[in-house]
Every structure is written in structure tokens, then in C-alpha cells.
Structure 1
Amino acid sequence: MKQFLVRIHTFYSTLKSKIAFYPSLIALFGFVIALIMVIAEQKGISRHLIEVFPLLVVEDGDTALSVLSTCIGGLISLMVFSFSMVMLLLSQASSNFSPRLLPGLISNKRHQIILGVYLGTIIYNIFTLFSVETSEEKFTLPGFSILLGVVFSIICLGAFIFFIHNISQSIQINNIMDGIYDQATHRLNSIIEREDEKKDQIIQAFPKTENWYSYTSPKSGYFQNIATQNIIDICKRKEMKLYITVPKGLFVLKNIRVLKANKKLDEDTVQAIFANLNFARGEYIQDNYALAFKQITEIAVRAMSPGVNDPGTAINAIDYLTELFALRMKKNDLGVFSEEGNPYIKIAVVHFHELLYQVMASLRTYCRHDPTVAQKLIWMLGYLKQQPSLEQAYMEAIDEELKVLLKAISFDSEKDMEKVQQLADSILKS
């Protein structure tokens, strides 16, 4: 049952990220409302409306057809224009910033809901239009249904105004980085909280895994998530320990060894374990915080490329990276999951020194000739060195990256080199 729930959750998470999820859902809702109104009209709801508010009811069938036809045509035009704007946003973000940003922009709920409101209203008005006959009298026209169609169309106009405002904000790079930063901090904070809860329980050292039995992945994809409690329950029943050899976010190829166990497992147990591992074809920050570092780094690199040459955006990106690294330093590199003091699962993690190296390696290549951006990188490393850390290895990694950065930078002005060297020396001595 737990495995079934995990699969349902995984399927829902994947489906929710699709651009057509909310529009399809709201369109179905519009169809259901149209059917409900057909039943309500058969019960005489419009006759009661005429008696209370006669001015709100259309009295002529031709007028009703004209109103609904105008609403449908106008809403289709709005929907096409809005969808074109979304495609333009995605194209511009991909070309100017990074193609990795597309999944996050596509899954923007506001855009999806607005498109869904358009589509739901169009479907409602179409089915309401079917029930209108020009020869009918005002007492038999679906007056209340027509009124609702007009109200929904007016709501769509308000949604369109909000859409124009939101689309103009979404294309701004600061707002894009804000969204990436918020998702990453939420993910990191949830991981750190779980580590705090189990920190005192990790008493026994996890055994070495060199001679353990290995098992291969039945499918390929990005390793996104793991149902920890389900696998711990399996380990407790089988009295075993597991080691997952790949970190989250890594692309796993089929038939690659990704799982080790301290005892030989039967086929059913192996399938049960892999059923609780989520392999997806796309990457999402909600499941892998390291993706946020990659995306923000790519924004900075693209900004410093010769074709763009935008140091201001690169400096802003480094500011976001600084905060994310400071938060990452609160997380340990253990990757061990335990229960009641007994470790059952160990998962390979992206160590802090490796994450810092991957980011700095890209930034060094494109930023070493710009004095202002290079100083910002040195300031970032100095700020990180002042943060309280769980491990001394974090501080050693920062010092190492600072020394490598000093060797890589190259300026035409001796004054710039001298200023950067002084800043770096003050950090190394602290």
C-alpha cells in the first residue's frame, strides 16, 4: 500500500509540473458547471431570477446568441494571445538566461490557472450556447446560465490584466532568481530540520560497503527522491543495511549499479526497494536543491559571456549563491538515515567541497578578467568563512578555492591586482 501511495505521489508531482495540468483541471470544472446549470435550468431557476431581478435576464434569443458568441470569440483571442506571451517568455528566458529555467517557468501556477480560467469559461459558454433557441420566450431562455457566462467572461478580463502584470514581472531576472532561491531554501531547511531530529540518533558508524552485494537500476532517469521511511521498514524486516551509490540529481543509466546491500537480496525485495526510488526525466529544485546552484551559476556565466557582457546580473547571482552556500554549510555531509539510533540507509551526497568547486570552476572561467566580479567572488568566500560550520573540511574547501581563484584571475591593471590580493590576504589570515 505504501509503495502504491509513493507511486501516486510521484505521478502527481510529475503531472502537476506540466503546463496543461491546471488548464485541463479548470476546463473540466467549467464543463461540470455547465452540466449543473442545465439541470438547474430544467428546475426553473431562470424563472425565479426574472421575478427577483428582471433587468439581469436576457429577454431575446438572438441577443443571447450574440452575447455568448461575442464572449466566446473574445476569450479565444485572449487565450491565444496569453499563450503566445507564455511561449515568448519561455523562449526569451531560454536564450537570455538558461534552458534549465524552463521547467520552473512552465510550472508557474499563476499562468496555468489563468489559461485554465479562459478555457473553462469558453467551454461553459459553448455548452450554454447549445441550450439557447432563438424562438424561445424569455421565460424559457436559460437566463441565469447566460448571466453566469457573462460574469465569467468579465472575470477573464480581470485575469487578463493580472496576467499582463505577472508576465512582465516573471521575465525579470531578479524575480526568476528569487523563485529559484525560495525553492532551494525551502528544500534545504526541510533537510536540515530532519538532520537535527536524527543527529543524536546516529551513534553507530555506518559500516564499510566495499564487499557488499551490488544491484543495478531497472530504468534510467534523474534520481530525484527516495521514500526513506518505506525503505527503512524494508531494512528492518530483512535485517539489512543499504547504500545508494548515486547522489540525488544525478542522471542514472539503465543497468548501472546504484544499490548495495550487506546481504544478498531476493528479486522481490530489490523491486520493492527500487519502487521507492523516484527516477524522473526532468530535474526539479523541489527534489534536488543542488539544481538551484547550477541554475544560478549558469545565469551568472551567461551574463558574463562576451555576447551578453552583463556584470551586474552576475554580481546579483553571486549574492544569491552566497546565501545558498551559507545555508548549505548548516547541513552535514553524512547522508545517513537512522531510526532509534540504528543507521539503515546511506546515500551518496554532493559534498560541500564538490558543490563549491563546481560553482567556482564555472565562475572562474568567465569572471577572472573582470575586477568587480572577481572581488565579489572573493567577498563571497570571505563571508562563507565567517559562518559557523559543522565541519572543518568546509573551511579548508573555502581556503582552497580562494587560492585557486587568485591564481586564475588576470587583470591588465596592477592596481586591480593589488586590491584583489589585499582583499584575499585579509580573508586568508582571518
Structure 2
Amino acid sequence: MRVLLSWPIRLFKAYRQSIAYLPSVLAVAYGLLGLSALLLPISNEHLPTPVTALGLEAPGNTRSLLAALLGGMISLMVFSFSMVMSVLSQAGGQFSHKLVFGLISERPHQWVLGHYLGTILFILMLLIVPDVASGETAWRSLAIYLACAMVVHCLGLFVYFIHNASESIQIDAVASGLHRTTLAALRVLQERQRDAAWRFLPTVVPTGHPRHVVHARRAGYLQNADLPALAKLAAQGDGIVHLHFRFGDYVVEGLPILSLEAETPPGETWCDEVRATLTYVEGESITEHHVYGLTQLMEVAIKALSPGVNDPGTARLCIHRLTDLLARQLQWQPSNTLLDQSGTRRVTWPLERFDDLLYRLFHPILHYGRQDVSIGLGLLKALKTLSLFAKGEDLETLQAHAERVIETLARTAHHPLDRRFIASRLTAGTHRLDLPLQLPTPEGQARGRGGERTQ
């Protein structure tokens, strides 16, 4: 059953996430409103006197007015979205190109497009049926007044659209949007894993049963999976499902993506049911996998550090957002095992280690910003902040990254003024890292060590 429903569900999800979703819904709503204006037989006798007093003597003679409104709406829509293309081309040059589709598919932009299309459709329907019965002039006059009100409403939306589109490419809005979306996805994941059935097991003990491999039937990004449904399928097979991929990985057709640890091999129907629980999404969906929000912030930072943009302030702003998100990640341990009601392991999946994630995020920024002292100091401050939330191996990882940042700063700063400026900030602030009091000499000799300090 799940296999039969998987294709319609995927199609609906793709439609739900596309830019055409809200515009098509609003266009249908406007179309139904236009049909009610044309088909409902409401005579003047059934309308209040104030309404009939506003009726036009010959509503059929307003075709020139409706044609002018229609032409104005088409011009307004063309101008609005030609401006969007210009804004997005500028955003693609300044930020990561992955953000371009996200900017144009924002819900406010879809609402505006939907109202534009709906207004055009409503006016077109009035133009197609110009004839009005002699006793229904008031009702058609109300429809014409409504068309004029819709155009005025769209003019107001046009002003809002210009304001929102110009603000959407500001770096504060871009970074805040990525931070907000990533934080929301992280909180959804945390809420989902609050149940006692979700556990983190550092080591997975094999049961001794053979593992039966299931291969992928299609290529794409495996962003997520219906883990509770997988647990039920594992219980049907009286075994444990082990995922061989990390969420967000790109898999190719024929790749072993999971295995069932059970005594009896699964049937082909069971394998199809398991594949139907997997979520493929083209591109990077932050709502499906929150780590994409972190990597996109990193990509915006390194784009800002490119010679063509040369905006270290944007990179530092992204580092601040990354610091907040990584601090929240350190305070929460994600699950890698799902149990059934009896406490039996049913599904396991690999997690990305914190040291791997930190390296993926901070190393590119340090590499592209190694000549900028402010970037090095920004990364060092971020590592100091994260050390207050880290324990054990995570703290050792932060210590190793801090030593690498200091080594990069020592190779960059040769003038005594630069070294004195950096040295005054090495151990400043509250942290739990073991940092030198001075920058290492070119020969690599440290001047001493400083412990925890409060600025």
C-alpha cells in the first residue's frame, strides 16, 4: 500500500514545495469568485437598495475599462518579476547560488504572484462574458467594482513586493533567514526525538544474524526517512534495519543503502515498502536536513571572502550565526537508534561527528580568509564560545582548531603592531581552551600558556 501511495505523495510534496503552489491555489480561488459573479442569478430585487443604487446603467459598456485594467495588471506583473530576476542575479553574484531559488520561492513572493494572476483571471472572465440580463445589472456592477478594488490591492502589493525583494538580498536578512530556518528544523528534530523510543547508542552490538542488503533503485539526495515506518517494517521482518547513509548524502542507483539484520531474508515486497519510506529531495532542503543551513552559511561566508566580493564583514556575520547554531548542537545529542514498544532496537543510522562538522564549516572559512586578521580572530572567538558548551572529545576538537587558527595568524602577522594587536585578544574572554599568551614566533616557539580568563 505504501508503495502505491509513495508516487502521489512525492508528487504532492514536490508541488507543495514548488513556487507554483500558492499562485495556483489563489488563482483557483479568484476563478471561483469570477464564476460566482457570472453564473449566480441574483436579480436587483434580491439586493439591498444601497447596492442597487450603485449599479451601473450599462455594465456591458465597461469593456474598455476592464481592458485597461487587464493591460495594466499584465504590465505590472511583468515589471515586478523582471525586477526579481535582476535582484536574484545580483544575489547570485554576492551570495551562494543555492540561495537564489530560495529567495524567489519565499511565501510572500508567492502570495503576490498569486494575487496578480488571480486578478488577471477575474478580469478576463468579466471580459469574456460581457452581456448582462436587464434585471441583474447591480450584481454585475459589483463585480466590476470588485475588479477595480483588486487592481488597487495589487498596486499596494507592488509597493510591498519592491520593499520585500530589496530587503531579501540584504546580508542581514539572508543570514537571519538561514539561521531562523535552520533553528526551526533543529527544533523540529529535537521535538521528534524527545520520546523514550529514540536513543543514542555509542556502540551498536550485532545480534549475530546475517545482514541482508537492500539496494537503491534511483539516484538522488536522501534527505530523510520515515523512521517509525521503518521500525514497523523491521518488526515485521523480526530484525533490525541499519541505514548505510547519512541523511543528506547523494546516492547512486544500485548502491547498498540499508540492510536488514535478521535470520530470514526479506522479500521483494518488503524491500519495496522500505524504499518507499525514504525521502528524496532535489537540491538541499534545510527543513528536511538542518545541517544544510550550516553549510549554506559557510558558503555565503567564503563567497564574501572571494576577491570579487571582498566583504569580510559578511563572513564575520555568518560566523556569528554558525556559532549560535553549533552551540545549540553541542547542548543536544541526536539519536541514532529507534526502539519499538518493547525496547528492542529496530532502526539504526549513522550520525555526522561534531569534529567532522566543525572541520567542514570552519576550515574553508579559515582557508579563504587566512590573510584577514579579523576572520582569524572571529573564528578564534567562536571556538572560545563553543568551548563553554563542549565536553570530552568535542573540547579536544575545539582546542585543535584553535591551535590551527593561532598558527595561521602567526604566519600572517609579521609586523610587531599586528602581533601586539592579536596577542591582546588571544586569551580574552571566558573560555576553556589552553591558549598561548603571545603569538608563536616564526620558529614555532610558544611564549607561554594561559588558562581560563574573564575579560
1:91 equivalenced with 2:89 (yes/no): yes
Give the match for residue 376 of structure 1: 378
Compute the displacement of 1:60 (Å).
3.1
Give the match for residue 250 of structure 2: 251
Compute the displacement of 1:188 (Å).
1.0
**Change over 3 Å in CA distance of 1:420–1:2 after alignment to 2:** farther
Give the match for residue 236 of structure 2: 237
**Change over 3 Å in CA distance of 1:151–1:138 after alignment to 2:** farther
**Change over 3 Å in CA distance of 1:352–1:9 after alignment to 2:** farther
Give the match for residue 362 of structure 1: 364
Give the match for residue 277 of structure 1: 278
Give the match for residue 72 of structure 2: 74
Alignment of 1:131-150 (within 5 A): 131-133=129-131, 140=137, 142-150=140-148
Give the match for residue 29 of structure 1: 29
Give the match for residue 399 of structure 1: 399
Give the match for residue 335 of structure 1: 336
Residues 327-349 of structure 1: per-residue CA shift (max 9 Å, x gap):
11123255222233322111122
SS class of match (2:338): strand
**Change over 3 Å in CA distance of 1:204–1:97 after alignment to 2:** closer
Give the match for residue 222 of structure 1: 221
CA contact (8 A) 2:221 2:281 kept: yes
Worse-matched range after superposition: 221-230 or 24-33: 24-33
Code of the residue aligned with 2:169 in structure 1: it is I
Code of the residue aligned with 2:371 in structure 1: it is H
Structure 2 unmatched ranges of 5 or more:
435-450
Mapped to 1, the partners of 2:324 and 2:5 lie a distance apart of 35
Alignment of 1:9-408 (within 5 A): 9-40=9-40, 42-44=41-43, 48-49=46-47, 51-54=49-52, 56-61=54-59, 63-133=61-131, 140=137, 142-198=140-196, 206-208=204-206, 212-263=211-262, 264-332=265-333, 334-340=335-341, 341-387=343-389, 389=390, 392-408=392-408
Worse-matched range after superposition: 99-108 or 51-60: 51-60
Residues 209-268 of structure 1: per-residue CA shift (max 9 Å, x gap):
996332221101111111111111111121111111111111111111111221332211
CA contact (8 A) 1:2 1:230 kept: no
Compute the displacement of 1:9 (Å).
4.7
**Change over 3 Å in CA distance of 1:201–1:167 after alignment to 2:** closer
How large is the RMSD of aligned CA atoms in angstroms? 2.6
- Normalised by the length of structure 2, the TM-score is 0.86
SS class of match (2:213): strand
User: In proportion to residue count, which structure has more helix?
Assistant: 1
Compute the displacement of 1:47 (Å).
5.7
Residues 365-404 of structure 1: per-residue CA shift (max 9 Å, x gap):
11111111211110000000012x4x52221221121122
Mapped to 1, the partners of 2:38 and 2:219 lie a distance apart of 49
Higher relative contact order (CA 8 A, sep 6+): 1
Number of aligned residue pairs: give it: 425
CA contact (8 A) 1:378 1:423 kept: no
Compute the displacement of 1:422 (Å).
5.8
Mapped to 1, the partners of 2:331 and 2:356 lie a distance apart of 16
Compute the displacement of 1:76 (Å).
0.6
Mapped to 2, the partners of 1:212 and 1:177 lie a distance apart of 44
Mapped to 1, the partners of 2:275 and 2:269 lie a distance apart of 10
Q: Percent identity?
A: 27
**Change over 3 Å in CA distance of 1:259–1:175 after alignment to 2:** same
**Change over 3 Å in CA distance of 1:25–1:209 after alignment to 2:** farther
**Change over 3 Å in CA distance of 1:279–1:203 after alignment to 2:** closer
**Change over 3 Å in CA distance of 1:137–1:203 after alignment to 2:** closer
CA contact (8 A) 1:121 1:152 kept: yes
Mapped to 1, the partners of 2:386 and 2:78 lie a distance apart of 48
